[in-house]
């Protein structure tokens, strides 16, 4: 008789977006004339940059010609042209990452989940809470012990290591989804020191690095000395260049990241990951890799930065509104997320219903991202300027004392 992975039965049901959809449906049925402004979804809304579309079309044409057609890519790690471009991108903000240490993928979510394959089930996993759900779910699926580090109002939603707690695998996300908080270099150094002391590995999710404009804030964990010995970094073009529907990202595992096997032999983590990917992943399509390469060209950077500036403009409008209203929040400056404290002691769902009923603005209750999210609320800057301005006008009208 087949045996299922019973860990799946223990997974917490993620009702958040289903509950939101249900409440919106009920509200729309009762109020068909009311226009909703959605500020809850973490997907981008602006189209791909023209230079990216041109590169993808040109590559698609190449695929239709015998002489330039491409089948499987030999290495499965990504074409050299793209790995070199990613390495050059890192260099542009002062970080050295060798093209040999980069593997191209079809987005960060899959690698964030799949990386667990190369770690034993006996590891203790540390995850900051609140968190992007894939870190918890993918480890719960293999029955690993998970401990949480609290990100809360007192620490500015930037949990720091506690040497009384042991961990073997540590998930960090900066700029953070959902809280928008960004670790400083000093804070990341503390995590790197903790990881080295515990002989642990950090999985660093930098999916929102492109939103950092403060040059003092690190856009990569490799800006911190010692990270090359203990950290894996996962990034994505989803938010950097609007690739949520195009699918491309990259994972960095430095060749200097060496772990010890139970027989005492030293193993390069990158070799394990290469072996895993070689068995289970067949690479990213050629047109998508050409499109991704275009993102890192000078023209691609110019065009994609315009979209980011637009979203950041929205975030600024939201932050200014909350400042004016005296509402506490994190994020918004170097992040597309604003994480605000619900007024008058409301919990996230009360505030959700209140905003929906009174001003028809939709956000995401923080409760869905973990226990530290209770009483907090996430808004995103990925909407249109017009909607953001209108939503904030309604916010002011409703919430000014």
> What DSSP string describes 107-176?
-HHHHHHHGGGGS-TT-EEEEEES--THHHHHHHHTT-EEEEEE--GGGTT-----TTS--SEEEEESS-
User: 212: which 2 tokens?
Assistant: 């950092």
> Minimum distance from CB of 393 to ligand PLP (Å)?
28
CB of 358 to ligand PLP, least distance (A): 28
CB 205 to ligand PLP: min, Å? 5
Contact 398, 358 (CB under 8 A): yes
Please, which residue, 376 or 395, has the CB nearer to ligand PLP? 376
Contact (Cβ atoms closer than 8 angstroms) between residue 208 and residue 239: yes
Task: Give min distance, CB of 177 to ligand PLP, in A.
Answer: 4
Residue among 112 and 333 whose Cβ is closer to ligand PLP: 112
Residues found near ligand PLP in the complex (CB under 6 A):
42, 107-109, 112, 132, 173, 177, 205, 207, 236, 238, 244, 249
Which of 245/345 has CB closer to ligand PLP? 245
Tell me whether residue 131 or residue 399 sits nearer to ligand PLP (CB atom): 131
Residue 107 vs 368, nearer CB to ligand PLP: 107
SS (H, E, C) 195-214: HHHHCCEEEEECCCHHHCCC
Minimum gap (Å) between residue 305 Cβ and ligand PLP: 19
User: Which backbone phi and psi does 181 adopt, to 5 degrees?
Assistant: -75, 150
The bridge status of strand 266-268 relative to strand 258-260 is antiparallel
DSSP symbol at 381: S
Residue at token pair 């950041």 = 312
Which three-class secondary structure state does DSSP give residue 354? Answer: helix
Question: CA-CA distance, 171 to 160, in Å (whole number)?
Answer: 12
Query: Toward ligand PLP, which CB reaches closer, 181 or 321?
Result: 181
Shortest Å, Cβ 84 to ligand PLP: 21
């Amino acid at each position: 008789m087949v045996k299922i992975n019973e860990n799946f039965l223990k997974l917490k049901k993620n009702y958040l977006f289903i509950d939101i959809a249900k409440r919106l449906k009920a509200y729309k049925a009762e109020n068909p004339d009311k226009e909703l402004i959605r500020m809850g979804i973490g997907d981008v809304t602006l189209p791909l940059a023209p230079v990216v579309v041109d590169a993808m079309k040109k590559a698609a044409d190449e695929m239709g010609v015998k002489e330039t057609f491409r089948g499987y890519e030999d290495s499965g790690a990504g074409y050299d042209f793209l790995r070199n471009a990613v390495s050059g991108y890192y260099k542009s903000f002062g970080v050295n990452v060798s093209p040999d240490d980069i593997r191209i993928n079809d987005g960060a979510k899959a690698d964030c989940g799949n990386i667990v394959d190369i770690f034993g089930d006996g590891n203790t996993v540390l995850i900051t809470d609140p968190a992007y759900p894939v870190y918890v779910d993918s480890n719960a699926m293999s029955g690993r012990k998970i401990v949480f580090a609290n990100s809360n109002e007192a620490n500015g939603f930037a949990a720091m290591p506690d040497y009384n707690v042991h961990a073997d695998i540590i998930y960090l996300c900066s700029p953070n989804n959902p809280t928008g908080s960004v670790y400083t270099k000093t804070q990341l150094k503390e995590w790197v020191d903790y990881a080295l002391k515990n002989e642990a590995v950090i999985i660093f999710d930098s999916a929102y690095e492109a939103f950092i404009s403060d040059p003092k804030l690190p856009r990569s964990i490799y800006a911190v000395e010692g990270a090359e010995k203990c950290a894996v970094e996962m990034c994505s073009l989803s938010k950097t260049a609007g690739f949520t529907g195009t699918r491309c990202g990259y994972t960095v595992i430095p060749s200097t990241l060496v772990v010890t096997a139970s027989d005492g032999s030293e193993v390069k983590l990158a070799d394990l990951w290469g072996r895993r990917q070689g068995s289970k992943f067949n690479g990213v399509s050629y047109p998508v890799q050409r499109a991704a390469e275009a993102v890192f060209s000078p023209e691609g950077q110019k065009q994609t930065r315009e979209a980011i500036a637009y979203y950041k403009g929205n975030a600024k409008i939201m932050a200014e509104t909350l400042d004016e209203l005296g509402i506490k929040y994190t994020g918004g400056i170097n992040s597309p997320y604003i994480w605000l404290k619900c007024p008058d002691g409301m919990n996230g769902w009360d505030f959700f219903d209140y905003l929906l009923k009174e001003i028809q603005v939709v956000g995401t209750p923080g409760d869905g991202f973990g226990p530290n999210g209770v009483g907090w609320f996430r808004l995103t800057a990925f909407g249109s300027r017009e909607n953001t301005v209108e939503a904030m006008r309604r916010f002011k009208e409703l919430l000014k004392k």
